Structure 1
Amino acid sequence: MRRNEKEVIDIIEIEKMLKKADICRLGLSVNNEPYVVPMNFGYKDNCLYLHSAKEGMKIEMMKANPRVCFEVEVDTELVDGGEVACEWGMKFISVIGHGQASIIEERTEIKEALDILMSQYSKRTEFEYQDKHLDAVAVIEIKIDKLSCKKSGY
């Protein structure tokens, strides 16, 4: 990171930011063509969990190249610099990660991953799922191998 004073290295603080975020922007690339898509997600034990339709651009790209990048941000706030444009700014905390994506196939693991994802947005930890919904969804696990966090303006 270019500005060391903005770097967060405490993994507990980074994990708090991952659990606080609402949206994950997933970056994929195939044949030198990048693609970024905002997604709901869940985080646990150095993995992200996402859900998707079983078909579509992100699934095809993931199959062709399972290396992915993701970004989340929290606590964003505009800093009004007044009349001078270059005095404006943004307070934020962002986490960027890289990892290997795969589609979970085992039904028990799919339910566990969906519970993690649902818990991201709820105080509950267990949920019920209808078979027709489990059959229709692709659940993606991203095993994170690199994380960085930047805190600016705080």
Structure 2
Amino acid sequence: MRRKDREIRDLDQLEDILKECDAVRIAAQDEAGLFIVPMNFGYRLEGEKLTLFVHSAPEGRKVDAFRQGGVVAFELDCGHALRTADTACGHSFTYRSIMGSGMIRPLTDREEKKVGLGAVMEHMTGRTWDFPDDAVDRTAVFALEVAQWTGKSNQAG
């Protein structure tokens, strides 16, 4: 990271960003090339180990690519605000972000899928939910096991 003064290393601050963000963008590659897709997400942070969970309909380009497993990149950001100035070059943009990469894998066990879906719904709604087996069975759920991640902040000063 070029701007070390903006780097976030503190896990509590990183988790604050995770809590505030409502979408993660996941970049993957398939035979047609690179693509990026925004998705709602949930997460589990155990010590420094971060796992992101996403879900999808069971068919489509992203699902096919994610089912192949392998390394993907991700990005999430929040706290957006334009900071104006008297000159064009004096303008800036306030944000907080996390970027990283890791291995994505499909969850196939029903109970494991429920854990992933539970993480998504808890993150998005703030509460726990029960999931009917038939709905779980027709939903694709993936875990992104993060290998490396960094946080960055450009807040008003």
Alignment TM-score, normalising by the size of structure 2: 0.90
Distance in 1 (alpha carbons) for counterparts of 2:95 and 2:30 = 30
What residue ranges of structure 1 are gaps of 5+ in the alignment? none
1:54 aligns with 2:58: yes
Alignment length (residue pairs): 152
Distance in 2 (alpha carbons) for counterparts of 1:109 and 1:62 = 17
Asked if the contact 1:103/1:138 (under 8 Å) is kept, the reply is: yes
Between 131-140 and 47-56, the greater mean CA deviation after superposition: 131-140
Report the CA distance between 1:12 and its aligned residue.
Answer: 2.1
RMSD: 1.5
What residue ranges of structure 2 are gaps of 5+ in the alignment? none
CA offset digits 1:104-141 (Å, max 9, x no partner)? 011111111111110102221x3122233112100000
Partner residue, 2:141: 139
1:3-152 → structure 2 map (5 Å cutoff): 3-31=3-31, 33-45=33-45, 46-64=50-68, 66-82=70-86, 84-124=87-127, 126-152=128-154
Asked if the contact 2:41/2:124 (under 8 Å) is kept, the reply is: no
Give the secondary-structure state (helix, strand or coil) at the position aligned to 2:124: coil
Distance in 1 (alpha carbons) for counterparts of 2:44 and 2:134 = 26
Alignment TM-score, normalising by the size of structure 1: 0.91
Indicate how the Cα distance of structure 1 residues 94 and 48 shifts in structure 2: closer, same or farther if over 3 A, else same. same
Distance in 1 (alpha carbons) for counterparts of 2:68 and 2:135 = 26
Asked if the contact 2:100/2:149 (under 8 Å) is kept, the reply is: yes
Asked if the contact 2:69/2:106 (under 8 Å) is kept, the reply is: no
CA offset digits 1:35-69 (Å, max 9, x no partner)? 01110000113100000111111122223452111
Detail structure 1 runs of 4+ shifted over 6 Å in the superposition: none
- What letter corresponds to residue 103 of structure 1 in structure 2? P
Identity %: 29
Distance in 1 (alpha carbons) for counterparts of 2:43 and 2:12 = 13
Distance in 1 (alpha carbons) for counterparts of 2:32 and 2:153 = 30
- What letter corresponds to residue 69 of structure 1 in structure 2? A
Distance in 1 (alpha carbons) for counterparts of 2:140 and 2:94 = 35
Distance in 1 (alpha carbons) for counterparts of 2:69 and 2:131 = 30
- What letter corresponds to residue 148 of structure 1 in structure 2? T
Give the secondary-structure state (helix, strand or coil) at the position aligned to 1:100: strand
